[in-house]
Amino acid sequence: MNRLAGKVALVTGAGRGIGAAIARAFVAEGAAVVLAELDLDTAQATAKDIAAAYANARVLAVKTDVTQSASVQSAVSEAERTFGPVDVLVNNAGINVFADPLTMTDDDWRRCFAVDLDGVWNGCRAVLPGMVERRAGSIVNIASTHAFQIIPGCFPYPVAKHGVIGLTRALGIEYAPKNVRVNAIAPGYIETQLTHDWWNAQPDPDAARRATLELPPMKRIGKPEEVAMTAVFLASDEAPFINASCITIDGGRTALHHE
Ligand code: NDP
């Protein structure tokens, strides 16, 4: 349980859902963790839960808006002042923006890209100079199976998530000679508030939920903890030669041609 001992990690959007599970798993593995989150209340509540669960947990909640590069930079500075240089960054914060392309507003387009793609770049840009200088670092970007596959009417979220894979590959190649690894995780359906909000936005939320559970060959959707385990692996020294890659976590759904 010490796979991240001595490491300092910053996880964006860590107040709830997948980000909270990653923060918890990182602390369990010995890392000091900064929860960089828009909603300071959820971040503080999650930090308190984690601190209660693990003796000597080193955990800090910092209000952060990933759409603002200065806000992300300031979270990184606070992490460094409190715990030391950031070894691991998880760009997890993301929002669903699902619309019809031609009726979508300009604001929807901008909101989606501001969080789902600019937010990832803002995180990378804030930590990369230090990682390059120290010749060590691991960045894990939370993409989605929407980064490879399209569902009609779910625009422009998949466009931004395709961009996250492009950014991951480009930065992974750019900084490989400096021993900085940049990888992505592409989750399928994972049970979080995001998924519940989507079900509740459907005309029949219960039917939407049942239909979602039928999609993966395993006939269930994923748990945030199942994404967190892979984030631990990619962040750790167990993955020294994995770079510019993406690991899909969807119970096999995207490999399925049809039933
Ligand atoms: P949640 O909506 O449950 O959690 C997202 C967190 O990010 C929230 O705490 C939210 O804060 C925070 N956040 C939103 N905007 C910002 C911002 N501008 N700056 C900082 N934090 C912000 O989502 P999930 O845990 O489900 O998703 C996490 C990631 O996983 C996202 O990138 C998502 O696209 C991806 N993903 C999720 C899947 C799923 O099925 N759940 C599937 C595939 C990918 P607030 O509460 O204030 O909004």
**For residues 95 and 15, what is the distance between their CA atoms, to the nearest angstrom?**
14
Rounded to the nearest angstrom, the distance between the alpha carbon of 139 and the centre of ligand 1 is 17
Give the per-residue pLDDT at 8: 98
Substitution site in 95, 145, 221 for ligand 1 pocket (most atoms within 8 Å of beta carbon): 95
Percent of the chain with pLDDT over 90: 99
Is 123's pLDDT higher than 80?
yes
The two structure tokens encoding residue 216: 């993966």
**For residues 219 and 236, what is the distance between their CA atoms, to the nearest angstrom?**
31
Substitution site in 35, 111, 146, 192 for ligand 1 pocket (most atoms within 8 Å of beta carbon): 192
Give the per-residue pLDDT at 228: 99
Give the per-residue pLDDT at 107: 98
Q: How confident is the model at residue 259 (pLDDT cuts 50, 70, 90)?
A: confident
Average pLDDT of span 62-72: 98
Rounded to the nearest angstrom, the distance between the alpha carbon of 157 and the centre of ligand 1 is 12
Q: Given 3-state DSSP classes, what are the helix, strand and coil percentages for the chain, each rounded to the nearest 5?
A: 50, 15, 35
Residues known to be catalytic: 157
Rounded to the nearest angstrom, the distance between the alpha carbon of 194 and the centre of ligand 1 is 7
Place domain 8-191+223-252 in its CATH homologous superfamily: NAD(P)-binding Rossmann-like Domain (3.40.50.720)
Average pLDDT of span 173-198: 97
Q: Mean pLDDT, the chain, as a whole number? A: 97
Give the per-residue pLDDT at 151: 95
